[in-house]
Every structure is written in C-alpha cells, then in structure tokens.
A = this chain, B = another copy of it.
C-alpha cells in the first residue's frame, strides 16, 4: 500500500468540492498554488468558462486528470432518447479534449428524473435495461475515440433520481456483459461514499481487479447526514474506514489518484477555497 503521509502527489481534486467558491479557472489556479497535481472537472464548470479556455488553463498549470464528470443519465422516453445519446457523445469528446483517463458515468434513475420531461415510470428494472443499452451504444464511440468509461455505482438512496446502478456488483455485471475481454475501455469508479456499506464490498473490489478499477473517490459519511445530496463529509469526519478500502483497491494493482469529491452545502462550500484545499491535503496524508 502506498504511503500518503509524506506528500500529496496522489491527491486529485474533484472540482465540485469547491464549486461555490470560484469558477473553474480560479479552482485550477488554487490547485496549482497548493501543489495539487491533478483534478477532475465537471462539465457545467467547464461550460461556464468555455472548453478551450478550461483546457488551456489546466495545461498551463501542468495539471493531470483523474477523470471527467460526467456522462450518463441514460434512461429516457423515446422523445428524449436522441438528446441523451448526443449529450453523452459530446461528454466523451470533451473528456478527450482534456486528455482525461476516463469519463465517469452517473447512469441515471427513472426516466422522469434522468431526462426531465420524459414520461413518468416506476419500473426500475426497465431503467436498468436502458442503462445497459445506453452504455453499450456509447462504448462504440468511446472505443473509436479511445476514452475509457467508468460506471460509478451510486448509493441506493439515489436509485430513483440519479443512478439505478447502486452496487459494484451491478456495475461489474454490465462491464462483463459489454466488455467480456476486460479491454480497459469499460470499468468502474469506486467512491467510498457510495459503496462503504455494501456487505459484498471487498469481494467485489477483488472481482473488479486492476482492469476495471478506473477511478477511486474519497470523502466521508457523516452521522447524522442532514441532506441526501449535499452533506458529504471531509475524510476523517465520518464513519468510513477509508484506509481499508484503499488498501483493497491497491491490492488489486490500482495506482491512480485518490480523488477528493465533497458536496457540502452546509460546511465546506461555505469556507474559503484555500482552507478547503489545505484541509483536503492534510486529511489525505493522515486519513486516506
């Protein structure tokens, strides 16, 4: 297992962690100022400053990438299917423009939440079939471009509105169906926040193996959690045994970044950017 206590070379900043404190260019400058060597940008933050300017800013700062957030939201009714397809192809192309190592997929829940305006459904099984079909179709384009797709299972509390893929096992079943050869073009993003509770976590990390482990995200689960989406904790402030999960991921050969991704309306989004980044770095050394 790598020793993170001496430096923060392995830390990547998911730019949503400080999304309220500045635009993407300001975040890139702050990351560079703190010696952070990699980021994972969000599409809406990229769009706000323009793709070309974002790519140039990251290149000028010498930043690497741990992923690009995000594609997905596959379930849709017929009237919204083409928009979903085009949107995902653009996400692949943007990830390529940055030279990101993977496009993270948040697959979507029921169609009325995944692609608003779609006819309402309670059939989560049908949504799951649409997800697998959508990833299969996108994978053709991703292969052409050379952009690996990382399916991110989200916590089951997001099953209705954000992602109906809720366990590593489910994500790996999709990987095995669509990419049986383990080509490296399809895998998972393992975020401790979403998977820490899973009774099958350690066997499924093993099942994923090096070829399927495309990204590793960290934050913490707070008790109490005051909001389903935006009350994620700084590493060390919650109950997740982060180091044991990292050990398992690294035991499979994963040697990529630990990407810090914290949505925190009530706490970290209210603090100065430099304080947040300093704390991320300190906790990366002591807790991750």
- Interface set of A (CB-CB < 8 Å, partner B): 110, 113, 122-124, 128, 155-157, 159-161, 164, 166-167, 169-170, 196-199, 221, 223-225, 228, 238-241
Contact = CB atoms under 8 A, between A and B. Distances in A.
A240 B240 CA distance: 29
B160 A199 contact: no
Given A122-B241, A228-B225, A241-B122, A166 B197 contact: yes
A239 B157 contact: no
A221 B160 contact: yes
A122 B243 CA distance: 11
B170 A199 contact: yes
Nearest to A169: B199
A137 to B, nearest CB: 21
Contact of A124 (B160, B164, B197): B197
Nearest to A124: B197
B157 A199 contact: no
Contacts of A240: 122
Given A122-B241, A228-B228, 14 more contacts: A113-B223, A122-B240, A156-B156, A157-B157, A157-B228, A160-B197, A160-B221, A160-B223, A160-B238, A160-B239, A161-B223, A164-B197, A169-B199, A170-B199
Nearest to A173: B199
A161 B164 CA distance: 24
22 contacts: A110-B239, A113-B223, A124-B196, A124-B197, A128-B199, A155-B156, A155-B157, A156-B156, A156-B197, A157-B225, A157-B228, A159-B196, A160-B197, A160-B221, A160-B223, A160-B238, A160-B239, A161-B223, A164-B197, A166-B197, A167-B199, A228-B228
A59 to B, nearest CB: 39
A167 to B, nearest CB: 7
B122 A239 contact: yes
A286 to B, nearest CB: 15
Nearest to A221: B160
Nearest to A164: B197
A193 B14 CA distance: 32
Closest 7 CB pairs of A and B: A159-B197, A122-B241, A156-B197, A157-B157, A160-B239, A156-B156, A160-B223
A229 to B, nearest CB: 8
Contacts of A223: 113, 160-161
Nearest to A128: B199
Contacts of A228: 157, 224-225, 228
